[in-house]
Structure formats: structure tokens, C-alpha cells
Amino acid sequence: MTSTEMPDWDGNLMAGPLSELFALDVTAAVVRCRGCGASAEVATLRVYGPDPGLVGRCPGCDDVLLRVVRTPDAVWLDLGGVTSLRVPAPAAGGPAVPGAPA
Amino acid sequence: MDFVTRGFQGRPRGRDDRLPPGQYLTGDFPVLSAGPTPGIEHHEWELWVATEDGTRHTWSWTDLMALPAETVTVDIHCVTSWSKLDTEWRGVSVDTLLADVETGADYAMVHSYGGYTTNLPLEDLLDGQAWVAFEFDGDDLRPEHGGPARLLVPHLYFWKSAKWVRGIELVVEDSPGFWEALGYHDYGDPWREQRYQGD
């Protein structure tokens, strides 16, 4: 069930702490919800916080998809609510890309 | 050498003495949420306690209201650094709820409507230290502050005082709750400034 109440934030609020973890802009990444199977750009998540931490919920079912906490000396990331994270990347070409299908 | 100056002993505890390290005073009551506010009506509300052997005790709202309630005035301390003094709550002591519950568990995992969890040693819920609170400042506890009922454990950081409480799971082994699994301290004593893991 999706709540009609809207949080104060969307996934763009996660850009800061996530940029400390990922070289690419993760707000453009697409996550797939483990609960309902819906796919959503991180920027479109319903985000609660920022304190004690950022909680990104599925726009489809309100399940928790990802959480980020910035402590004084670490960034903590929980991706337990997603089955996949697809990050747009430059076209693969030239030398073989590690991890790409042969 | 005597480090205690004459007149220091017995001095009433002032405001500064009641403010744990790193905290500031607020007159507001900030709302922090990890998700949408659950709308729980009294007729559908239920509180359960489950023991380590699977025994389950439940209370309806009517059951809760029939139990002896206490009015307590306590200071509360949020891990985000605000503290609020002399807050008045009314609720049922967890001692009362657990009076007839047989358990050998040392820990509790508290569950909320909406899926939130937090873990505590069971002894921190006993001996007049914790309540299931349903009134704040003389009025029904508002949903954004955890109504119809929230846990109140004022001697620990306020994330342990789970809003929208629905169950207390008594367990033999400790495991981290919602925030404790993501960098926050397992215990959360504001006087020892236990905000994050390793503090």
C-alpha cells in the first residue's frame, strides 16, 4: 500500500552522501524494488530524513529501498530493499570491459 | 585534597546538569520520521509481547486503557542533539505489561507499525524506566509523535523510544534494529554520548 502522505524530500537529497561512495551520479541510477518489483530512478524515491539518516522508499509500495547514514567517520549504505542497481554508463567499446558478457 | 567545594553537595540539579554532552535545549518538539505516519485507529490497534519460546501475549486498546497508568515527567534526548526537559507523558509501565510474562531473555527487539525496529537490553525496559505512552502534555499522543502509543525510554537516546509501537519481542541474543544496523550505537546512552558504533 502506498501512503498518500508525501515526505519532504526526494532521492536528489541522497546525491551528497552517495557521491562519497560512487564515482557516478547515482541519482540517475534505476533501482528495482525487492518488495513489489517496480523500477524507479533513485531521484524519484520518497526520501525521509535527513536525520538520523536518509531513508529512500519505493514510489510504488513505500517499502524501504535504500538507506544512507553519514557518521563522523564513515558512510553507511543499506541496499537491502533493492534487487538491482542499474547505473547509466558510457557505451562499452574498445578493450574488453571486466565483468561484461563475452 | 578536597575537590568538592562547600555548598556544592546537595545543590539542586540545574538545567546545565540535565543536559548530556553535545546536546542543546529546545522548546519545540521536532518530528523525525523514517517513513510515512501510520494511521492506526484504536479499534484496530494491538500490542503484543512474544517470548523466546513463542508464547504471545496481546492487548487491545481497551485492554491497555484498563491497566494502571502513570503520569511521568522526564527529560528526553535525541541523537540529533536536541534535548527537551520536563516533558509530561501518561502511559502504562512496561513492568505492568511484563508482570505475568515468563522469560529468560536478556534482550528486546521493539517493533512498530510501519516496520521500524529498535533493540534494547530487557533490563532497560524494567524497574520503572520505560512506558507505553499514549498521552503527551495532557493530550492524546499525536500520530506524528507516535500516537496512538509509543515506547518511552527516556534514559536512552530517543530513537529507542519507538513511535507507533506494536510489539516487544523478547530474545536471548541481541541483534541490531533499524538504525543500529546502519551505524548507530547499540545501546545509546546520552550521558556517555553513545551516538554511533564505536562511541
Query: What DSSP string runs through A8-33?
Result: SEEGGGGHHHHHTT-SS-GGG-EEEE
Query: Which cell is B147 given?
Result: 500516537
- Average pLDDT over chain A reads 87
Identify the residue among A1, A3, A61 best suited for mutation to test binding to B, counting B beta carbons within 10 A and taking the highest.
Answer: A3
User: Distance between CA atoms of A55 and A68, rounded to whole angstroms?
Assistant: 7
Q: What is the CA radius of gyration of chain A?
A: 15
- Give the residue extent of every domain in chain A: 9-86
Nearest Cα of chain B lies from the Cα of A6 at a distance, in angstroms, of 8
Burial of B20 (C-beta count, 10 Å sphere; 0-12/13-18/19+): middle
Cβ separation B35–A62 shorter than 8 A: yes
pLDDT bracket for residue A18 (50, 70, 90): confident
Q: Say if residues A54 and A7 touch (Cβ distance below 8 Å).
A: no
Between these two residues, A4 and B118, which has the higher pLDDT value?
A: B118
What is the ipTM score, two decimals?
Answer: 0.87
**The predicted structure's pLDDT at residue B11:** 47
pLDDT digits (tens, 9 = 90+) for B47-95: 999 999 999 999 999 999 999 999 999 999 999 999 999 999 999 999 9
Return the residue matching grid coordinates 510515512: B36
Cβ separation A53–B80 shorter than 8 A: no
User: Distance between CA atoms of B195 and B184, rounded to whole angstroms?
Assistant: 6
> Which residues partner with B75 through β-bridges?
none
| A–B interface: beta-carbon pairs under 8 A | 46
**The predicted structure's pLDDT at residue B2:** 41
Q: Say if residues A14 and A47 touch (Cβ distance below 8 Å).
A: yes
Backbone phi, then psi, for B14, in 5-degree steps? -85, 180
- What is the length of chain B? 199
Instruction: Kindly list the residues from chain B whose CB atom is less than 8 angstroms away from the CB atom of residue A35.
Output: none
Nearest CA in chain B to A4: B36
User: Distance between CA atoms of B180 and B153, rounded to whole angstroms?
Assistant: 16
Per-residue pLDDT at A86 exceeds 90: yes
**The predicted structure's pLDDT at residue B61:** 98
User: Which domains does chain B show, CATH number per domain?
Assistant: 20-27+44-192 (3.90.420.10)
Backbone phi, then psi, for B90, in 5-degree steps? -130, 135
Cβ separation B32–A52 shorter than 8 A: yes
**Residue ranges of E strands in chain B:** 24-25, 46-50, 56-60, 70-77, 82-93, 107-112, 117-121, 131-136, 139-140, 150-152, 165-171
Q: Which of A40-44, A78-82, B14-18, B42-46 shows the lowest per-residue confidence on average (mean pLDDT)?
A: B14-18
Residue type, B56: R
Q: Say if residues A66 and A58 touch (Cβ distance below 8 Å).
A: no
Neighbouring residues of A16: CB distance < 8 A, sequence distance ≥ 6:
none
Between these two residues, A69 and A102, which has the higher pLDDT value?
A: A69
pLDDT bracket for residue B5 (50, 70, 90): very low
**The predicted structure's pLDDT at residue B14:** 64
Listed ranges A2-6, A20-24, A37-41, B28-32; the one with the highest mean pLDDT: A37-41
**The predicted structure's pLDDT at residue B26:** 95
pLDDT bracket for residue B10 (50, 70, 90): very low
Per-residue pLDDT at B184 exceeds 50: yes
pLDDT digits (tens, 9 = 90+) for B165-179: 999 999 999 999 999
